[in-house]
Amino acid sequence: MRKLRIKRTVLAFLLLAGIAASAPSVQSDKLVVLQVQWVPQAQFAGYIMAREKGIFAAEGLDVDVRFSDENSSPITELFSGRADFCTAWLSQTLTLDRPVVNICQVIQKSTLMLVARKESGIRKPEDMNGRKVAIWGGDFSIQPLAFFRKYGIKPVIVPQSYNIDAFLVGACDVASAMYYNEFNKIYLSGVDQEDLVPFFYSDYGLNFPEDGIYCLRETQVNDPELCRKMRRAILKGWEYAFAHPGETLDVLMDYCAGYRVRTNRAQQKWMLEAIRQAVIFGSGEDPAGWGVLRKDDFLRVAEELIRQGFVKTVPTFEDFVKD
Partner 1 sequence: MSRRSPTVKNPIVRRLILWIGLPLLVVYSVVAVTSYFQNKKASIDRMNAYLLELTSHHAAELDSRFGAISRTPAIVAETIEGMKALTEERLYDLMERRLAADPDLFGMSVSFEPYTLDPKRAAFSARVVRTPGGLEKVDSQADSGYGTADWYLIPKLLDGPYWTEPLFSAGGGNELSCSFSHPLRFKGKFVGIVTADISLAQLEKTLQAVDVFAGYAFIIGRSGTFIAYPNPDFVLRESPFSLAETLSRPDLRALGKDMIAGKQGIAALADFHTGEKNWLVYAPISATRWSFAAVIPEANVLAPVRAQLYRQIVLMVGGLFIILLGIVATSYGITNPLRKLTAFAGDISAGNLDVRIEGLKRRDEIQRLAEVFNQTVADLNQYIKDFTAATKAKEAVESELRIARQIQESLLPRVFPAFPERPEFDLYAKNEPAKDVAGDFYDFFFLDEDQLAVLIADVSGKGVPAALFMAVNRTLMKTVCQKGVGPAASIRAANEILSRDNDACMFTTMFLAVFNVKTGDLVYANAGHNPPYIVSRDRTIRVLPSMGDAFLGVDAEAAYHEGRARLDPGDLLVLYTDGVTEAVTPEGDFFGEERFVRRVTDHRDEDLASIWGRLSAELDDFQKGNRFDDITVVLLKRSE
Q: Closer to partner 1 at the Cβ: 235 or 256?
A: 256
Q: How far is CA 169 from the centre of its chain?
A: 27
Number of residues counted as binding partner 1 (CB under 8 A): 32
Query: Does 2 participate in binding partner 1 (rule CB under 8 A)?
Result: yes
Binding mask 206-245 for partner 1 (x = CB under 8 A): ----------------------------------------
Residue 71 CA to residue 170 CA, distance in Å, equals 28
Query: Residue 282 Cβ, how far from partner 1 at the closest point, in Å?
Result: 29
| Out of 96, 168, 292, 306, the residue judged to bind partner 1 by CB under 8 A | 168
Hey, which residues between 127 and 166 contact partner 1 (CB under 8 A)? Answer: 132, 137, 158-161, 163, 165-166
Interface stretch with partner 1, choices 59-67, 217-225, 260-268, 307-315 (CB under 8 A): 260-268
Q: Is residue 133 a contact partner of residue 157, using CB atoms and an 8 Å limit? A: yes
Residue 165 CA to residue 125 CA, distance in Å, equals 22
How far apart, in Å, are the Cα atoms of 174 and each of 139, 181, 207? 18, 16, 19
Interface stretch with partner 1, choices 29-37, 54-62, 183-191, 230-238 (CB under 8 A): 183-191
Query: Does 269 participate in binding partner 1 (rule CB under 8 A)?
Result: yes
Q: Closer to partner 1 at the Cβ: 80 or 264?
A: 264
Hey, which residues between 24 and 63 contact partner 1 (CB under 8 A)? Answer: none
292: DSSP letter: P
Query: Residue 158 Cβ, how far from partner 1 at the closest point, in Å?
Result: 6
Q: Is residue 83 a contact partner of residue 77, using CB atoms and an 8 Å limit? A: yes
Closest residue by Cα to residue 19 from 82, 69, 102, 112: 82
Continuous H helices in 224-288:
224-243, 245-258, 265-279
Q: Is residue 315 a contact partner of residue 99, using CB atoms and an 8 Å limit? A: yes
10 Å CB burial of residue 21 (0-12, 13-18, 19+) is buried
3-state secondary structure 182-238: HHHHHHCCCCCHHHEEEEEHHHHCCCCCCCEEEEEHHHHHHCHHHHHHHHHHHHHHH
Query: Residue 167 Cβ, how far from partner 1 at the closest point, in Å?
Result: 10
Binding mask 56-95 for partner 1 (x = CB under 8 A): ----------------------------------------
Query: Does 309 participate in binding partner 1 (rule CB under 8 A)?
Result: no
Interface stretch with partner 1, choices 43-51, 100-108, 258-266, 311-319 (CB under 8 A): 258-266
57: DSSP letter: H
Residue 174 CA to residue 28 CA, distance in Å, equals 47
Query: Residue 120 Cβ, how far from partner 1 at the closest point, in Å?
Result: 14
Query: Residue 247 Cβ, how far from partner 1 at the closest point, in Å?
Result: 16
| Out of 22, 262, 296, 312, the residue judged to bind partner 1 by CB under 8 A | 262
Beta-carbon contacts of 81 under 8 Å, excluding residues fewer than 6 positions away, are 21, 22, 24
Question: Which residues of the shown chain bind partner 1 in the complex (CB under 8 A)?
Answer: 1-5, 7, 132, 137, 158-161, 163, 165-166, 168-172, 187-190, 262-267, 269-270
